[in-house]
Each structure stands twice: as structure tokens, then as C-alpha cells.
Amino acid sequence: MQKMRGLPVLTLLSFVTFVNCFTIPGDVKATGCQINIKVLPANTPLLLTSKTREVIFPNLGTSFVNLAQNEKIDLDCPGTGNIQAGGATIVGIAEATCVSGWDFQISGRQVNISSVLCSSRITSTARATGKTCWGKGIEIEIGLQLHDGRFIQQYTSCFDDVARNVLYSRYFLTNNIENQLTGGTSPSWSEDTFYNLGARVNNIYPIATHRVTINKQLGLPDGDLKYVGTGHYYLAKGHLTARTDYMYNAQQMSTFHYVNSAPQWQTFNGYNWFYFERSLRVYASKNLVDLEVYTGTYGISTLPHATTGRDVELYFYVDNNGNKAMPIPELFWKVAYDPINRAGIAVLGINNPYQTDVTKSIICNDVADRLNWLTFDRFRLEYGYIYACTIADFRKVVPNLPNFDARNILN
């Protein structure tokens, strides 16, 4: 199993399709196979070591996985799909032996491995672990179920099943993230069995629907465009663990579970929060550090009532009896920790494009000026005001956060 500078990486997955032959200088014979993960198409099997069935990763600093000639690997299609190889259908896990070039021996056939696919999209599973988190949450793990019964965890979520609010997600960010596979289509979001509302979460998010929900709380006509208007002024499914924080397509698709999301204004989701997450990935790659990352929500966003002018706490779901759930977060936050250098930072963003007084949402001493890797305009209110705190200072407000030994700022 690949190590994350002292920590086992439990969240990284890979799978294989596009293979090229490589040769050792001076040797005219092909001596193995090389997989370039940057050109992997969809519906390709997971690539696993044959003995321990751990996921095989690209060489650090590259997008290539090298396999020796005659090396055996296993292929799996978590979910309902089977492996399609050389015209044959293989149920469960298939053993593949690198022959040369693109050719692998699979189930008695020599086939071009770039043609080996899963019969349907690889799917992920969200399941409760039976543990509690932060006093009021249930711990949920999201990952891939292999055909041999093993479960490969991607990340964990702490879910408040009373308020129907995600408190945080936890994952590991690899320093090789800049060599990730990009592109591909997004799957449908999975509600699983955790929300138990009077409506499906998928049916709450359409703009016309949540416009009515927000306006009713603010004393506005259903169709009023004052807040949920045009352009990017609507509430999106805000990832906590970002799709782009993973190397492979199967990992990226596993982030589309509602227990990994919270309502986030698109003006924030698509701008400053996006820029910050990208900056953190660049930081990890540039500095060759692997990071343990928590991403969470804090507080409840408010807007003034149309008649009284008083601030109203906003919820994304209100039933006909006035029962409320899914609070719209005041803040999104992310804590990144480098255990080798004992360095970390907490970065926070205001989830309200209409909030002009940022001071009421500054919950810890701002040290963002010391982070030279935050290169975007973090002060743009409509794009989401961004600031940063030491982990120790942030823990004074969010005391359930692990007591990381962060002696330095992540800089």
C-alpha cells in the first residue's frame, strides 16, 4: 500500500485502460507495460495487486504505472458491472498477466487491455460505520465494494441526522494530485438512506423549488428574484470533499453523495472556494506534501426578512408544518494538515453573496496574509470572502476538531 509520508493512504484508487509498451535502453525486447492514467476513458476496471488486492498507483511525480513483463494484476468492477475482455464476460475479479505492449493474458485469452471495460459505470457505496462523531453525528464511510468482499474507503462523513447537515468530511490529498485524470461526465447524486425528508433531496435543489423555499422564509412572493435570481445566484450542491481532489475517475465519481455536500451559493462554489481548492492542490504538488484534510460547515446563513428587517436563519428544506432541515451554512471551512512538517492551516469562506458585514463571520484571527499560495482575490464578497486561521485558534471555536500538532502554518 502506498504510504502518505508516514500515513497509510486508504482513500486512493486507480484503474487501467490505456497501456503502452516501454523498453529498457539497449534492449530490443519489450520488457513490460506502462499505463498513463491521464488518458484513461470511462468504465475501465480497477487495477489491483494480485496478492493483496491493493490499488496500484502511478509513480510519484508522474502519471505512469509501470508493470513488469509477466507481472500479474487483478481487475475489478465494483458495483453491478462485469468485466468485458476479448469478447468474454468475467464475473467478479479477473487476473491479468502483462505479456508485452498492450497485450495481457486474461481468462485464457490474450487481449489488448485498452479494450477491457466494465459493463456498467463503477459505483460507490455510502454506509454507516456504527460510530458517532462530534457528539451529535453519525459516521458514514464512502468507498468501493470489491467482489472479494473488501471495501476500499475513500473518505468519511460526519452527518447530523437530526438537522440533516454534514458536519465534516475527511480525506487524504496526495502530493501527486497534479497528475490526476481529468474530464469525464458527472454522475447523478446519491441520496442513499440518510436524509429521510418529506421530499427527495434531488427534488429540493432545482432553482425554482428552492427559490420558493427561501422566499417563504423571508416573506417574499414565491417568484421574487431578489435573492435566488439569475446567473450564478442560486444554491448548488457544494462538495465538501471535492471531485478534483482525487486521482482517478472512480474516486472522483464517489464524491457525488449528498452526505458529502451542503447548500452552497454558486457565486461562491464556482469562484473563490473553487480557486482556494485549486490552490491547495497546487500547494501539495509543488511542495511534495501529502495532506490530511477535513472540510466542514459552520453556523447558519441569514438574510433580512422583507417586512421586519430582522435576520432570518435560512434552511434548505421546510415542510408544510414549518419543520426545518438542511441549514444553509454560514461558513464552509477546510483544515489541511501536513504531519511530516507538523504544519497546518484552517481556511474559511463566507457562504453568502449578499452579506456586506464580514466581521460577524470572522470567528478566529485572520492570518491569510501569511499564505503566499492564496493568489486569488479573496476579498470579493459576491465570490465568497476567504480568510484563514491557525488550527489552534480555529479549534477554540470548533473544539471537536482533532488536536493536530501543527507547530507551523502551511506555507
Secondary element (H or E) of residue 130: strand 125-133
Q: What is the pLDDT of residue 96?
A: 93
Q: Contact at 8 Å (CB) between 105 and 99?
A: yes
Task: Tell me the C-alpha to C-alpha distance, in Å, between residue 131 and each of 157, 159, 165, 199.
Answer: 11, 11, 17, 27
Distance of alpha carbon 40 from alpha carbon 181, whole angstroms: 7
Q: Which residue pairs from 354-363 have beta carbons closer than 8 angstroms and sit at least 24 positions apart in sequence?
A: 354/227, 354/303, 355/301, 355/381, 355/385, 356/381, 358/385, 361/299, 361/330, 361/331, 361/385, 362/387, 363/298, 363/331, 363/389, 363/394, 363/397
Distance of alpha carbon 7 from alpha carbon 289, whole angstroms: 12
Mean pLDDT over residues 332-355, rounded? 98
* Three cell numbers, residue 101: 505492449
Distinct helix (H) and strand (E) counts, the chain: 5, 28
pLDDT in tens, 49-85: 888 888 888 888 998 889 999 999 999 998 888 999 9
* Three cell numbers, residue 37: 492514467
Task: Tell me the C-alpha to C-alpha distance, in Å, between residue 354 and each of 351, 375, 397.
Answer: 9, 23, 24
Secondary element (H or E) of residue 207: helix 207-218
Distance of alpha carbon 133 from alpha carbon 267, whole angstroms: 31
| Residue 367 CB neighbour total at 10 angstroms | 16
Q: In the structure, what pLDDT confidence band is assigned to residue 1 with cuts at 50, 70 and 90?
A: very low
| Residue 132 CB neighbour total at 10 angstroms | 11
Backbone angles phi, psi at 292, to 5 degrees: -90, 130
Residue 320 in marked binding region: no
Distance of alpha carbon 40 from alpha carbon 276, whole angstroms: 27
pLDDT in tens, 288-306: 999 999 999 999 999 999 9
The closest alpha carbon to 77, from 64, 90, 68, 67, belongs to: 90
* Three cell numbers, residue 29: 525486447
Q: In the structure, what pLDDT confidence band is assigned to residue 184 with cuts at 50, 70 and 90?
A: confident
Q: In the structure, what pLDDT confidence band is assigned to residue 4 with cuts at 50, 70 and 90?
A: very low
Distance of alpha carbon 397 from alpha carbon 365, whole angstroms: 11
Q: Which residues are catalytic?
A: 239
Q: In the structure, what pLDDT confidence band is assigned to residue 330 with cuts at 50, 70 and 90?
A: very high
Mean pLDDT of the chain: 90
Checking if the pLDDT of 159 tops 60, the result is yes
Higher pLDDT, 53 or 215: 215
The closest alpha carbon to 79, from 136, 15, 171, belongs to: 15
Q: What is the pLDDT of residue 39?
A: 80
Q: Contact at 8 Å (CB) between 403 and 313?
A: no
Distance of alpha carbon 137 from alpha carbon 165, whole angstroms: 9
Beta pairing class for 3-4 and 7-8: antiparallel
Residue whose C-alpha cell is 492542490: 281
* Three cell numbers, residue 248: 482517478
Distance of alpha carbon 258 from alpha carbon 290, whole angstroms: 26
Secondary element (H or E) of residue 212: helix 207-218
Percentage of the chain modeled with pLDDT above 90: 75
Q: In the structure, what pLDDT confidence band is assigned to residue 20 with cuts at 50, 70 and 90?
A: very low
Distance of alpha carbon 68 from alpha carbon 262, whole angstroms: 45
